[in-house]
Structure 1
Amino acid sequence: MKKLETERLEIIPCTAEVTQLLQNQQYDNGPEIDRHLQELLEDPSLFAWGSWLIIRKLDGQVIGDGGFKGKPDDQRQVEIGYGLLEQYWNKGYASEAMNALIEWALANEKVEKVIAETERSNQASIRVLEKAKMKRAQETDATIYWER
């Protein structure tokens, strides 16, 4: 199985095989994983271009998920997103995971650019994207668009 490792984290693509782990830990961080698993059933080529689980090495705890909103587009871009369970906020895990996922994507010959968006009011996400070396590409009254 493909996985990414950082100093404190293992990041693995979300597949039907890991749903038991999620059930065992009663992990629930919104509908993205269920939606991704359904899409993966319909299109196996989405493997690794959807949700990845962010797992703390220390105790094997799933602390969040992140990943891509689909395969690279015709401009060779992928959009990244993430969400950590609240008790793991402000510990650097999100930046660590986003850096690993962005580096993985940029190492793929089908990807030239990783993009993201966040609400202008979401200071925590802005810090995560800055630490992940994302650059502000465009801003509106409500949204900041990022790229790397």
Structure 2
Amino acid sequence: MTKHPSTPTDGTITLVPASRNLLQAELNDPPAVFNILDVDAAPPYWPPDLNDDDSFRHALNLIPAGAQTADWGFYYVLLHEGGQRHAIGLGGFKEQPDENGEVEIGYSILEPYRRRGFATRMTGLLVDHAFADPSVTAVTATTLPDLIPSIGVLEKVGFRQTNLLDGILYFSLLR
């Protein structure tokens, strides 16, 4: 697998790799996370929906022994706005690509930053990041049928629904 650039950005948002230090801070000293990220203020509603100690432990387990970050791991979403940096979400790869070259993404934006296009921008950066590796054949994602904004994000980036199984919608974007 090709190693990716460490901080995908579109000039407005930057995806900062979830390092071992950041993830350990999430689990043991949450206020330290925002010092490490060098953001202007810690959001009082952190972490974003669908993120908890289990997801942080999973992200930590994606980092190979002796490494500080995973090539296929989680990212903190930082917004650069008005000369300030804000932590606005989390996203990334749930695992490394499988034997078929498929890799699954996930994303979550804090409530005050939703409906402003940031999830779509983040998803686009994750897709570009994945397809920078020539062995990746598809990027996949799942969501729930009642999460209409999440479905909209995936469709805006070009994903197509491939299945509905046990109440979960499956999406895919082919190379």
**Category of TM-score, reference length = shorter chain:** 0.7 to 0.9
Per the alignment, residue 33 of structure 1 pairs with 56
Aligned length: 148
After superposition, the C-alpha distances for 1:20-42 in whole angstroms (9 at most, x for unaligned) are 76243264232223431244264
Per the alignment, residue 8 of structure 1 pairs with 12
Q: Is 1:50 aligned to 2:73, yes or no?
A: yes
* Conserved? CA contact 2:19–2:69, under 8 Å: no
- Percent of residue pairs bearing the same amino acid type: 26
Bigger relative contact order, structure 1 or 2 (CA pairs below 8 A, ≥6 apart) = 2
SS at the partner of 2:133? Answer: coil
In structure 1, runs of 5+ residues without a counterpart are none
* Conserved? CA contact 1:65–1:83, under 8 Å: yes
Please state how far the C-alpha of 1:12 moved relative to its aligned partner: 1.6
In structure 2, runs of 5+ residues without a counterpart are 26-30, 36-41
- Residue in structure 2 matching 1:99, options 124, 145, 151: 124
The alignment's TM-score, normalised by the length of structure 2, stands at: 0.74
Equivalent position amino acid for 2:7 in 1: K
SS at the partner of 1:6? Answer: coil
Structure 1 CA distance for aligned equivalents of residues 19 and 169 of structure 2: 31
Structure 2 CA distance for aligned equivalents of residues 147 and 66 of structure 1: 17
* Conserved? CA contact 2:59–2:74, under 8 Å: yes
Per the alignment, residue 22 of structure 1 pairs with 33
* Conserved? CA contact 1:14–1:48, under 8 Å: no
Please state how far the C-alpha of 1:131 moved relative to its aligned partner: 1.2
* Conserved? CA contact 1:135–1:147, under 8 Å: yes
Q: Which has the larger radius of gyration?
A: 2
Per the alignment, residue 110 of structure 1 pairs with 135
Q: RMSD of the TM alignment (CA)? A: 2.4
After superposition, the C-alpha distances for 1:74-107 in whole angstroms (9 at most, x for unaligned) are 1110000011111111110000010011111012
